Amino acid sequence: MNIKPNGDRLIVKQDEAIERLSSGIFIPENSIEKPQYGTVVAIGDKSAFKINDRVCFSKYMAQEICINGTDLLIFRENDILATI
Residue 44, pLDDT score: 93
pTM: 0.81
Residue pair 38/54 in contact by the 8 Å Cβ criterion:
yes
Q: What is the fold of 9-83?
A: 10 Kd Chaperonin, Protein Cpn10; Chain O (2.30.33)
Q: Note the Cα 23 to chain centre separation in Å.
A: 27
The DSSP symbol for 29 reads: G
Identify residue 48 by its one-letter amino acid code: A
Q: What is the pLDDT of residues 36-53, one digit of tens each?
A: 899 999 999 988 999 999
Cα–Cα distance, 78 to 27 (Å, whole number): 33
Work out the pLDDT band at 10, boundaries 50, 70, 90.
very high
Side chain identity, residue 66? C
Parallel, antiparallel, or unpaired for β 54-57 and 80-83?
antiparallel
